[in-house]
Structure 1
């Protein structure tokens, strides 16, 4: 039976995949979610309808089903992805849909007077959004984005179903091999540490950008 240190190090190696998936999803889903949110409040009805269908579909179906579709379904039409790439695609599209609704709500919560003031200053739509609306929205949506970040860390365990050696899969392998629940306890502690770091980081951002 492996020592506690060996087991911990093995599980930590799995956590690197969890971290990689987290950063891939964060890097791509945030800007995509922002663009979808802006599109959903645009004056172009077909665009609003299309994006509404997108958020409805991906928020209304299980992430696991979307993950299976990306890994097992896309090859049917000739698109073959590695397990991690398929996971990154599924997670990005799924979380972008959720973030889009969060960002849309944040944008619509901004007082209409901000738009009028920007117009008086001669700003166009792009300048208004990037210099006035989005910065304020970013501050307002920090709490729900923090919650989604925590959910992302926990949801990353789903990638074990397509053979990706993440944190939980690594723990399960040791449990199966050594017939002990200690790896699950270690995995739980690591998950708690990661999510606690995220909470602290977002609280720091909230405090930094809060309005006195």
Structure 2
């Protein structure tokens, strides 16, 4: 038992690794600050395009959503980082992660928004138009607020997945939380930094997970 505690819960080693973990946490936060807001905005645009009446507008948006939801994020990340250089484009690890994650999450957010918009009856849109609002104003001021409220648990749940997804950025040597924890493990020959990183993820994400459950129950009621 003592050997197990020393290998996985050595608080002295966790303290020594803390500066590295904090540096990795800052990088993880920076990725999320870029990918999540841009993904939410791109998702709205993708959803609106996928619901357009004209096929030449709708089909490319639907294809975008299908392709980037089907591609595993790790495959997409490696393609952007290691594949684009063959085309003369050499993104940095940070740029590759931002591009790959943005494409992936714009597709997922877009599908969530689309489901939310479809959950609002056409009568709401038509009633808004009858008051003199333009189609754009009716969508922004009447339909979208209700749609977002209906799919808010899904939006938050996908945001949690985005934060967890940042851990795969270590494969392109981006110094995010997991990468720094693994570096500390390789230096100390002890798994305690990995456990500490897992604890940080838990502290960050557990409140959001509970919030999703609470919102789901409220909407169901």
Asked whether the two chains share a fold, i.e. TM above 0.5, the reply is yes
Give the equivalent residue in structure 1 for 2:4. none
Structure 1: gaps spanning 5 or more residues: none
Instruction: State yes or no: 1:139 paired with 2:146.
Output: no
CA distance in 1, matches of 2:99, 2:211: 26
Provide the TM-score with structure 2 as the length reference.
0.88
Q: Is the 8 A contact 2:81 2:172 kept in 1?
A: yes
Q: Of residues 100, 124, 131 in structure 2, which corresponds to 1:121?
A: 131
Q: Deviations over 1:168-195 (max 9, x none)?
A: 1111111111111111110110000111
Instruction: State yes or no: 1:6 paired with 2:16.
Output: yes
Give the equivalent residue in structure 2 for 1:149. 159
Instruction: State yes or no: 1:63 paired with 2:106.
Output: no
Q: Is the 8 A contact 2:13 2:192 kept in 1?
A: no
CA distance in 2, matches of 1:166, 1:201: 25
Instruction: State yes or no: 1:83 paired with 2:93.
Output: yes
Shift of 1:9: 2.5
Q: How many residues get paired? A: 210
Aligned CA RMSD, in angstroms, stands at 2.2
Give the equivalent residue in structure 2 for 1:171. 181
Shift of 1:152: 0.9
Give the equivalent residue in structure 1 for 2:55. 45
Q: Of residues 117, 121, 127 in structure 2, which corresponds to 1:111?
A: 121
Q: Is the 8 A contact 2:40 2:106 kept in 1?
A: yes
CA distance in 2, matches of 1:151, 1:73: 25
Q: Deviations over 1:31-90 (max 9, x none)?
A: 111001011111111111111111111111110111111111112212221110110011
Q: Of residues 156, 164, 187 in structure 1, which corresponds to 2:197?
A: 187
CA distance in 1, matches of 2:35, 2:211: 18
Report the 3-state secondary structure (helix = DSSP H, G, I; strand = E; otherwise coil) of the residue aligned with 2:133.
Answer: coil
Q: Is the 8 A contact 2:25 2:176 kept in 1?
A: yes
Instruction: State yes or no: 1:92 paired with 2:105.
Output: no
CA distance in 1, matches of 2:94, 2:87: 19
Report the 3-state secondary structure (helix = DSSP H, G, I; strand = E; otherwise coil) of the residue aligned with 2:53.
Answer: coil
Shift of 1:6: 2.4
CA distance in 2, matches of 1:198, 1:19: 15
